[in-house]
């Protein structure tokens, strides 16, 4: 009885001590706080842009608005900017990286607008089944519900 009372008195002290260890990082959890080295990031990002620029030279400038023509190059560019930001201990995206990426967009995609999008219906061979299948399934489900409700004496 006396031992359990002593344990109860020392428990808050023990909990505070463990909490203190955890806050100091002495409990096996080591937190390292790195500050973003913006100048290093801004120094390295142009290499990503230069690579993207070299790759875009392979694409006809008339096809620059067609993402399928250069998606691989853009993906490599994005990964490069993310890697360089992370290597400089900066989160990604951040305002500086975003402004750099926006500059690349202005350089290559300024004339790409959504105003020229011309939507077309798919061919009739595709469109008719896409319309008829849901309509037929809906009719079949309605007929099944009506039939089951009339046959409730047998099914229930």
In a domain, 130, yes or no: no
Q: What is the pLDDT of residue 150?
A: 83
In a domain, 137, yes or no: no
The reply to whether the predicted model has a pTM over 0.85 is no
In percent, how much of the chain has pLDDT > 90? 54
In a domain, 28, yes or no: no
Query: What is the extent of the structural domain holding 104?
Result: 34-109
In a domain, 135, yes or no: no
| pLDDT tens digits, one per residue of 94-128 | 999 999 999 999 999 888 876 666 778 889 999 99
* CATH code: domain of residue 70: 1.10.150.510
- Structurally, the chain folds into a number of domains equal to 1
DSSP 61-119: GGGTT-HHHHHHHHHHHHHHHHHHHHHTT--SS-HHHHHHHHHHHHHHHTT--STT---
């Amino acid at each position: 009885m006396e031992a359990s009372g002593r344990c109860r008195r020392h428990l808050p002290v023990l909990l505070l001590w463990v909490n203190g260890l955890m806050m100091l990082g002495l409990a096996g959890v080591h937190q390292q706080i790195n500050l973003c080295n913006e100048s290093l990031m801004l120094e390295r990002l142009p290499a990503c842009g230069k690579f993207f620029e070299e790759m875009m030279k392979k694409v006809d400038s008339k096809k620059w608005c067609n993402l399928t023509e250069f998606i691989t190059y853009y993906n490599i560019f994005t990964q490069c900017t993310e890697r360089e930001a992370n290597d400089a201990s900066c989160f990604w995206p951040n305002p500086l990286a975003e402004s750099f990426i926006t500059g690349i967009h202005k350089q290559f995609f300024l004339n790409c607008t959504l105003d020229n999008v011309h939507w077309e219906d798919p061919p009739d061979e595709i469109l008719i089944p896409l319309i008829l299948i849901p309509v037929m399934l809906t009719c079949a489900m309605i007929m099944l519900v009506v039939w089951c409700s009339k046959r409730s004496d047998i099914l229930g």
